[in-house]
């Protein structure tokens, strides 16, 4: 029965995109001049794996394009070609093209063959430009004297081929290679079985044999190499030319003398196409991945917790369920069992949530390339520093925070960091610095984007705000209020807008995206010394720490991170403006009162303010007081999407099911504050929504 290899496509694409990330990172770390062998080898192996997998699964165009990249990398790693900036730039562009080709193959869309052909031509031009004059290691030939070169004629090739033990596991079959080699000329094969174990110790998936192959043909050496190129990192492979005046015995002596060198120089085997490591870099070709890599430690912890649950269930199951004769001794055991069940369930929940957690390096990894490319385009010198790369956050948050981070970093590069001559004139280092930092604080993750550039000009921001009518000319604003203006739609202080960014253009989108994740963004800046953007995000969007509040007969959940304080209302602190807006004085601040029963159309017995409870909440830098009847307990709740299961409702971010089976709505604090300023229409007013959803 034929095997359907399409079932392996998803794994192949995942690992290919990981390989591209490895290639890109390695190329960015290459210094011009003599190549660093470890770095070039890692880049070469990634390209080799992509080429081999592409050919295996029938993605011929991808395999052919990668072959040119691999050839150039091969010359770098064997020392016959130095690393040049031209080569690095061409390979980086080829990585981009290869990423697009793989994405098109995955999505079954047409490949941009025109761009691939242009880049392939650039690689061929670099290859044709000459090398450093070193001899390729793969041939292991001693330089021939002029007299021997002129008198000897080429008759064929002698090949020593010794697979590594695990080569067969990658699906490579030596017999197929020999069959293809035989099509090039007259082939004789001698097998070495000296390493073959006794039958009881033989593993059919391991390779124990080696071969000496003699090919009588005047075919070029590149044709021979192409047959073995798919496995050259998974075997010891040495090839020697047979000349007319040489005998097979002398050729074998040459091979024997060089086989030790070939074995020592052999690389680590390429990872099999269908192997799945525990961790890996997220592909940057797709923003939303349908799969997730999980470390073995997290899986083991989950399995252990399931085992604990089984033990607890067995413990409770041993109790007699005859409640008419349920004595106190069994009641005590039942109480202990339920306590243990509660603890195990909580730990199981935490273990499951950890599976969704990924290091933020998955988001940070895209920035070295971006900084490299933009520095070349803008003629700037910038050093990128990252810290806290192993800080973990939810996969969903990770995918959605990527674009806002890109926008902020591009702004820092384009309009934050000055040109080198400007920095020198300001007694700054010629090279600017952008720092990305991530760390946990409380139940949130904090991401900082900091640059040592020019900083914001507060006077310029105020001038622009006055021009646009956002503030009055005599209005006094704190620094926080001034910086908050840059998040207004279309606001920018840039004299000229570039195709890279315009500081402020799109910043409203950045803030909105962060708010949709339940987060916030703050700005601090010092003119001449740089700017810091601080993003605060929840660790996960699936579970929420909430305060249960009662309004009439309904229960609502307010996110704990949004609550500032709760207080009993006193009539003397209530003020009315124009007979409509009610304000409550909290120390030196006045906050609007949001009557929850009016907002959600709920009948309540007490509609006055005296004696009511006010939950002071903060969202998007604004405060409000939610008028509720009663404060209930605090608990973690699992968020269910209201829009997916019902419809979008202003002022509500989701719903959850409480322990008694009733539905409780989760409040959107930012939305409620906006609604308090712009009350909903009758058609969109969520009257008794919890009962309707239930």
Question: Which residue bears the tokens 């005046």?
Answer: 245
**Phi, then psi, of 186 in degrees rounded to 5:** -80, 120
Q: What is the C-alpha separation between 621 and 639, in angstroms, rounded?
A: 24
Question: Which residue bears the tokens 């290919």?
Answer: 16
Helix (H) or strand (E) holding 529: none
- CB distance 353 to 540 below 8 Å: yes
Q: Which of 48, 140, 372, 407 is catalytic?
A: 48
Helix ranges (H only) for 616-665 are 642-645
Question: Which residue bears the tokens 């989108």?
Answer: 509
Q: What is the C-alpha separation between 91 and 26, in angstroms, rounded?
A: 11
Residues with Cβ < 8 Å from 574, sequence gap 6 or more? Answer: 582, 583, 584, 585, 593, 609
Is position 70 annotated as part of the catalytic site? yes
Hey, is 128 helix, strand or coil? helix
Is position 142 annotated as part of the catalytic site? no
Structure tokens at 136: 């390729």
- CB distance 450 to 531 below 8 Å: yes
- CB distance 364 to 408 below 8 Å: no
| E-strand stretches of 304-408 | 357-359, 382-387, 392-394
Hey, is 527 helix, strand or coil? coil
Q: Which of 411, 415, 437, 444 is catalytic?
A: 411
Q: What is the C-alpha separation between 89 and 108, in angstroms, rounded?
A: 28
- CB distance 363 to 405 below 8 Å: yes
Q: Which of 14, 15, 24, 70 is catalytic?
A: 70
Burial annotation 302-330 (CB, 10 A radius, 16+ → b, else e): beebeebbeebeeeeeeeeeeeeeeeeeb
DSSP summary character for residue 322? -
**Phi, then psi, of 208 in degrees rounded to 5:** -115, -10
* Catalytic site positions: 48, 70, 411
């Amino acid at each position: 029965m034929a095997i359907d290899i399409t079932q392996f496509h998803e794994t192949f694409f995942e690992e290919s995109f990981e390989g591209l990330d490895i290639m890109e990172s390695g190329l960015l770390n290459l210094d011009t001049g003599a190549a660093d062998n470890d770095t070039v080898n890692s880049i070469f192996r990634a390209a080799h794996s992509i080429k081999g997998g592409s050919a295996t699964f029938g993605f011929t165009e991808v395999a052919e394009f990668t072959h040119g990249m691999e050839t150039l990398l091969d010359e770098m790693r064997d020392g016959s070609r130095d690393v040049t900036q031209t080569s690095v730039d061409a390979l980086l562009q080829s990585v981009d093209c290869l990423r697009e080709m793989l994405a098109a193959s995955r999505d079954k869309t047409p490949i941009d063959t025109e761009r691939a052909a242009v880049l392939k031509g650039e690689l061929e031009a670099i290859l044709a430009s000459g090398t450093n004059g070193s001899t390729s290691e793969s041939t292991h030939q001693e330089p021939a004297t002029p007299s021997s070169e002129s008198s000897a004629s080429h008759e064929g090739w002698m090949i020593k081929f010794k697979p590594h033990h695990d080569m067969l596991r990658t699906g490579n079959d030596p017999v197929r290679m020999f069959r293809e080699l035989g099509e090039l000329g007259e082939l004789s094969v001698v097998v070495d079985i000296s390493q073959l174990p006794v039958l009881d110790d033989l593993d059919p998936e391991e390779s124990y044999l080696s071969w000496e192959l003699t090919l009588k043909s005047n075919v070029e050496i590149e044709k021979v190499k192409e047959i073995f190129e798919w496995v050259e990192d998974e075997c010891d492979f040495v090839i020697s030319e047979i000349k007319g005046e040489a005998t097979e015995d002398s050729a074998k002596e040459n091979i024997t003398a060089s086989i030790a060198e070939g074995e020592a120089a052999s690389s680590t085997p390429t990872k099999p196409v269908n192997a799945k490591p525990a961790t890996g870099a997220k592909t940057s070709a797709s923003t939303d991945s349908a799969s997730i890599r999980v470390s073995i430690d997290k899986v083991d912890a989950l399995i252990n917790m399931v085992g604990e649950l089984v033990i607890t269930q067995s413990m409770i199951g041993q109790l007699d369920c005859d409640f008419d004769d349920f004595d106190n001794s069994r009641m005590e055991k039942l109480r202990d069992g339920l306590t243990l069940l509660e603890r195990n369930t909580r730990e199981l929940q935490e273990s499951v949530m950890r599976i969704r957690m990924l290091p933020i390096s998955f988001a940070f990894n895209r920035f070295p390339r971006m900084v490299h490319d933009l520095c070349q385009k803008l003629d700037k010198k910038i050093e990128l520093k990252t810290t806290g790369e192993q800080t973990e956050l939810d996969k969903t948050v990770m995918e959605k925070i990527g674009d806002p981070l890109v926008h902020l970093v591009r702004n820092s590069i384009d309009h934050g960091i000055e040109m080198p001559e400007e920095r020198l004139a300001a007694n700054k280092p010629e090279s600017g610095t952008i720092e990305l930092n991530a760390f946990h604080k409380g139940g949130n993750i904090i991401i900082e984007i900091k640059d040592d550039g020019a900083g914001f000009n507060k006077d310029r921001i105020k001038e622009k705000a006055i021009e646009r009518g956002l503030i009055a000319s005599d209005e006094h604003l704190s620094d926080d209020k001034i910086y908050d203006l840059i998040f207004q739609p279309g606001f920018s202080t840039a004299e000229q807008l570039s195709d890279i960014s315009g500081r402020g253009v799109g910043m409203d989108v950045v803030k909105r995206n962060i708010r949709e994740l339940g987060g916030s963004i703050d700005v601090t800046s010092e003119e001449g010394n740089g700017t810091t953007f601080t993003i605060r995000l929840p660790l996960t969007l699936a579970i929420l720490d909430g305060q249960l509040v009662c309004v009439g007969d309904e229960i609502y959940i307010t996110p704990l991170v949004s609550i500032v304080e709760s207080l009993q209302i006193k009539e003397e602190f209530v003020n009315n403006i124009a007979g409509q807006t009610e304000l409550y004085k909290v120390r030196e601040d006045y906050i609007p009162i949001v009557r929850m029963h009016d907002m959600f159309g709920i009948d309540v017995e007490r509609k006055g303010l005296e004696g009511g409870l006010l939950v002071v909440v903060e969202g998007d830098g604004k405060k409000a007081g939610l008028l509720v009847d009663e404060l209930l307990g605090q608990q973690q709740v699992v968020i269910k999407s209201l829009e997916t299961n019902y419809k979008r409702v202003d002022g509500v971010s989701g719903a959850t099911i409480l322990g008694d089976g009733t539905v409780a709505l989760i409040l959107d604090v930012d939305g409620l504050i906006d609604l308090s300023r712009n009350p909903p229409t009758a058609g969109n007013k969520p009257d008794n929504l919890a009962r309707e959803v239930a």
